[in-house]
Structure 1
Amino acid sequence: MLNIIIITLSSILVAFAYNFLLIPHEILSGGLSGIAIMLGIITPFNTGVLNLLLNLPLLILGVMKLGKRFISYTILSVAVLSVSLYIIPIYKATQEPILASLFGGVIVGFAMGMIFRAAGSSGGFDIIAMLLSRKRDFPLGTLIAAMNGVVVAVSGFVFSWDAALLTLVSIYATGKVVDTIHTSHIKLTLMIITSKGEEVKQQLLEKLHRGVTIIDAKGAYSGEGRQVLITVITRYQLADVKSTIKETDPQSFVNILQTTEVIGMFDRSTSK
């Protein structure tokens, strides 16, 4: 229930940032939302309606390919954002474009970071990244940066290059805040110390295309036997993995480390 409230409020906050700061100055956001903003400015259609239509094919694909909880939260976020964009009036909160770009990006980044922490996403490029991350060791950061680069370039041709640079500032600010709130690392190493090693292992193998290494250990204070499970995941899987571990063994100890590079078999599904 808490996650639903967080996602709902955060999606409304994103809509306020769009309609009060970015859209009045013809500044775009990253991803499909940025494309929806651009189309909303140059066509008579409402940005909220366009955002929903652009995300609809990816949401349908996500229902078939991704976990029910993640895609359900994502559908909630897209729906609330689209409705909010439709209802909230467009108002120029500041006359300074650079302030609108910077603070709009920060607010959007904060809200999207909270959505990530609640095990959801705002749709668009995040669904594409999630799908690719489950299939192969793909340079997702490069992919999303390239997609956002297209949004910036289109902004320059459609509006002005001043607007394109302001869009770049907005996207950069959003990314930095999301990284601060969620995690900036594409890959993470998890060390899970648990007394229910077999149960946790089975849950991870069922929900991830990742290998899991198990090491027998003993608690220094209690002297009781434990198992240490080590696995490497992408940042898009972190919320689901944390929830799975908590449900399987609430008493487990989990250490999450940043991973600079992975060499060798990262995707377990490719070994078949």
Structure 2
Amino acid sequence: MNYFGKLSIIVAASILLGVAFNVFLLPHEVLTGGVTGIAMIFGLLTPVNSGIWIIVLNIPIIILGWMKLGKEFIMNSIISVAVTAVSMLYIPIVSLTEDALLSSVFGGVITGVGIGLIIRNYSSTGGFDVVSLILIKKWDMPLGGLIFVLNSIVVVISGFFFGWELAMYTMLSIYITGIVIDRIHTRHVKLNLMVVTNKGEEVRQAFLDNLVRGVTIIDGQGAFSREEKKVLFSVITRYELAVIRAVLADKDPDAFVSISQSMQVMGNFRKDD
């Protein structure tokens, strides 16, 4: 996807976040997590809109991300934060339902979809998203789970200010958001890839040209045909599966392919791609 296509998704997902916050979560004082959740607390306790607080609180984290994650990522993140803040300024705070539990569930799902799409397109919503993305470069774990752990501080804060019942709604919303993020942001999911092909050299070169992964080549032989074949083995992320499909459709559509999820990867596996 070209840059403008990704940017369009980032903008649309950021507006979706504004809808989730102002239509589902804020009307019931149910918060989202991290810096955005803290901004929502300040917005509820002060006359300053939560969108303004989002910008103010994200400034130091954006600077940290600039140093650790690169200019393009942070520029995309600034756009996402700005669009979310503006959408919260102009989308009215209205409640579609009086049921706080229902709003927590739907708000959590919509927030997870928005954040997942934003992160998948090389951006973030600022705040703990940036911190989590820096940490998973060192710790190979699900992004949504790490965000949930970091965001739990918001639950404690909201409990003191708005009561523990609303804090539990907030915990539910954050938990659902983390689950949805991990369904969309699947970079942490590792796959074992085995390809049996008659065109070993062409497939090998295509893999090396299109992936950042190492590939192990094993000489094989068909048990029935006795035909010599090449067996290529690698470990990829789920994001890269689409690349693999395109390469094999082009180089050897008749190749035998086996893909399974890997429980754990040890050794020199690149995580910061």
Shorter-chain TM-score above 0.5: yes
> Structure 2 counterpart of 1:188, which letter?
K
SS of the residue 2:216 aligns to:
strand
Contact 2:148 2:178 in 1 (8 A): no
Deviation at 1:58, TM superposition (A): 2.3
Normalised TM-score (structure 2): 0.74
Q: Give the CA RMSD over aligned residues.
A: 3.7
Structure 1: gaps of 5 or more residues = 206-210
Task: Kindly indicate whether residue 230 of structure 2 is the aligned counterpart of residue 230 of structure 1.
Answer: no
> Structure 2 counterpart of 1:99, which letter?
L
Structure 2: gaps of 5 or more residues = none
Cα distance in 2 for residues equivalent to 1:224 and 1:83: 62
Task: Kindly indicate whether residue 39 of structure 2 is the aligned counterpart of residue 36 of structure 1.
Answer: yes
Cα distance in 2 for residues equivalent to 1:101 and 1:115: 21
Task: Kindly indicate whether residue 57 of structure 2 is the aligned counterpart of residue 54 of structure 1.
Answer: yes
> Structure 1 residues 187, 243: closer, same or farther in 2, change over 3 A?
closer
Q: Which moved more, 1:16-25 or 1:73-82?
A: 73-82
Deviation at 1:166, TM superposition (A): 0.8
**C-alpha distance after superposition, 1:21-75 (max 9, x if no partner):** 1111111112221111111111222111111222222222223322554434333
Which of 12, 26, 33 lines up with 1:9 in the alignment? 12
Task: Kindly indicate whether residue 111 of structure 2 is the aligned counterpart of residue 108 of structure 1.
Answer: yes
Deviation at 1:163, TM superposition (A): 0.9
Which of 201, 216, 233 lines up with 1:214 in the alignment? 216
Contact 1:196 1:227 in 2 (8 A): no
| Equivalent pairs, count | 255
**C-alpha distance after superposition, 1:85-128 (max 9, x if no partner):** 12222222222211211111121122223323434332322222
SS of the residue 2:191 aligns to:
strand
> Structure 1 residues 117, 160: closer, same or farther in 2, change over 3 A?
same
Normalised TM-score (structure 1): 0.75
> Structure 1 counterpart of 2:170, which letter?
T
Query: After the TM superposition, which residues 154-193 of structure 1 pair with which residues of structure 2 at under 5 Å, given as runs?
Result: 154-183=157-186, 186-189=188-191, 191=193
Cα distance in 2 for residues equivalent to 1:80 and 1:250: 39
Contact 1:190 1:231 in 2 (8 A): yes
Deviation at 1:167, TM superposition (A): 0.4
